[in-house]
Structure 1
Amino acid sequence: MAPRANWKGVLKVAELTSQISLFTAASTSERIAFHTLNRKTGHRVQRQFIDAETGKPVAPDDQVKGYETGHGEYVMLEADEIAAAIPESDKTLDVQAFISCDEVDDVFFDRPYYLAPSNQATEEAFALLREGMRAKKVAALARAMLFRRMRSLLIRPSGAGLIASTLNFDYEVRSADEAFADVRDVKIEGEMLDLAEHIIKTKTGKFDVSKFDDRYEAAVAALVKAKLEGRKIEPPKPVAATNVTSLLDALRESAKGTARATAKSTSKASEAKTRAPRKKAS
């Protein structure tokens, strides 16, 4: 059974249109979540909004959004005023341009969504756009009113459908110059660079998301299980400190370690091949 769509509308490129459904591609709903309890009673506690000056609880009907215009000065905005100011969505995902797939910096990526045709009548138009983008190796930049905000999206072919990633606005992305302002220009060359390149080469692999485990989730799940069974869980031992005294020594030790690991892996593969039964000649 197909999941429930988060949004439905029309994907539009010039005069070409297709009815589409948008689905959440990544969700945090499966993560372990905690409730806050009263230690004495074991009951859940509830949050309240408290007046910062009087210290008294504020009833929901008395709560209103405010925009700060100065220190301690606010403009109150009613919910219907905010709703009236937001442009109405025409449910159109309008493609503005086609660009190279790698033209957008990763820091602009926000949330991924799946796009699929929502009815058979426009599947051909959807497929035409998808395959055209795949053939030209391009992505589409589009705009739409999503969840009460005008959003820009980058759309790319993916299997039988499309992936639409919402993009951060320019003002939301901080300048890298600020983060890297204190990084010195260090020249790396000679043996150190050779060793670094060797380590990278021997540890080169492929991205497989199934190989990455959420150790926090696993640790919390083990803790909960131990508590239910009345066992005491032992904390993991800290990583032992090494006796390496310099960056060059660390690189040399790392290179030796990767060489040993590679040799061990090759040996196991060779043994497995030797033990494998040979097919009988017919």
Structure 2
Amino acid sequence: MAPRANWKGFLRLSLVTCPVALYPATSESEKISFNQLNRQTGHRIKYLKVDADTGDEVPNEDIVKGYQLEKDQFIEVTKEELEEIALESTRTIEIDEFVDKSDIDPRYLIRPYYIRPDGKVGHDAFAVIRETIREMDKVAIGRVVLTNREHIIALEPMDKGLVGTLLRYPYEVRSEQEYFDEIQDVKVTKDMLDLARHIVNQKAGNFEPEKFEDHYETALIELINQKRAGKPITPKEKPAATNVVNLMEALRRSVGQEAAPAKAAKKPRKAAAGQKEMLMPIAGKKPAKEAGAKKPAARSQRKSA
């Protein structure tokens, strides 16, 4: 069962229209999160919406949006007024143009969504739009309204569906010049480039996301498990700083280090489908995934270590 759709409406290419649903393609809900607590009582901290001048708590029904003109002067905007300026893209993703993927500056990418037909109708029109984009080897650019704001969205085929990536507007992207202008012009010698290329060739591989491990998340899980088990927390040794200050010497040492036997390198663990599964189970409760079927004892012990 797919998660709840973030948006439902229509995908339109000229006169070809089909109902679609849009779902987030990424999630951070599996990451460890913390609550803020009162150190003295151990109780959770609660946030209240209060009037900045009187200090009185304000109920949600009395809170309105306001645009600040200057200090203590606001223009109030009601929900009804915002609904009146609703754009067509509130309910329809209109494809405006097709571009090469290489034309899209990666700085404009925000987040991806999965798009699929909504319901049992419109699958044929959806397939026509999807296969046209695939056949032309292009990215379709359209507009969609999410969280009351209109976004540019780039559509690409993926398997039987589409991936839509929200894009930033030009005013949201800072110019690189204010950061890069002070970078010094340095002449890089051929010898340096040759050594650097050698290192790159030794590290060459394929992009395989399943190999990546969130080391900080894993360290958080280990910390929580150790504290729950009542074990002492000992700080890990930090890597020693190197004294190499000559760039050519650093490159030569790097080449030698990368050529060292691979057995010295620690093989990264594959990230679990849900990192929180690696937490120790609460006493008297079974993990949700164990409710239907028991997992091998050895695996359970390894995850709770």
Where on the TM-score scale, by shorter chain, does this alignment land: which range?
0.7 to 0.9
CA distance in 2, matches of 1:89, 1:114: 17
* Deviation of 1:11 (Å): 0.9
CA distance in 1, matches of 2:4, 2:141: 25
Amino acid at match of 1:4: R
CA distance in 2, matches of 1:100, 1:112: 18
After superposition, what is the alpha-carbon deviation per residue over 1:17-57, rounded to whole angstroms, capped at 9, x for unaligned?
22211111012222211111122221112112344445x23
CA distance in 2, matches of 1:47, 1:15: 49
Root-mean-square deviation over aligned CA pairs: 2.2
- Cα–Cα, structure 1 residues 123 and 134, in superposed 2: closer, same or farther, change >3 Å? same
Residues 115, 162 of structure 1: 8 Å contact kept:
yes
- Alignment-derived partner of residue 95 in structure 2: 95
* Aligned residue-pair number: 264
User: For 1:106-255, what aligned pairs fall within 5 Å after superposition?
Assistant: 106-255=106-255
- Alignment-derived partner of residue 273 in structure 2: none
Q: Over alpha carbons, which structure has the higher Rg?
A: 1
Normalised by the length of structure 1, the TM-score is 0.86
After superposition, what is the alpha-carbon deviation per residue over 1:58-108, rounded to whole angstroms, capped at 9, x for unaligned?
322554332221234322334444444444655111000111122111110
- Alignment-derived partner of residue 301 in structure 2: none
- Cα–Cα, structure 1 residues 240 and 47, in superposed 2: closer, same or farther, change >3 Å? same
Normalised by the length of structure 2, the TM-score is 0.79
- Alignment-derived partner of residue 59 in structure 1: 58
CA distance in 1, matches of 2:263, 2:232: 40
Give the unaligned 5+ runs of structure 2: 266-305
CA distance in 2, matches of 1:53, 1:117: 50
- Alignment-derived partner of residue 68 in structure 2: 68
Specify the SS of the correspondent of 1:225: helix
* Deviation of 1:247 (Å): 1.0
Specify the SS of the correspondent of 1:237: coil
Matched, 1:27 2:27: yes
After superposition, what is the alpha-carbon deviation per residue over 1:120-167, rounded to whole angstroms, capped at 9, x for unaligned?
432122222222222221110011223322111000111111100011
* Deviation of 1:188 (Å): 0.7
- Cα–Cα, structure 1 residues 50 and 146, in superposed 2: closer, same or farther, change >3 Å? closer
- Alignment-derived partner of residue 269 in structure 1: none
- Alignment-derived partner of residue 46 in structure 2: 46
CA distance in 2, matches of 1:34, 1:71: 35
* Deviation of 1:236 (Å): 1.9
CA distance in 2, matches of 1:251, 1:93: 51
Amino acid at match of 1:138: K
Amino acid at match of 1:166: L
Residues 130, 162 of structure 1: 8 Å contact kept:
yes
- Cα–Cα, structure 1 residues 79 and 207, in superposed 2: closer, same or farther, change >3 Å? same
CA distance in 2, matches of 1:132, 1:228: 55
Residues 48, 57 of structure 1: 8 Å contact kept:
no
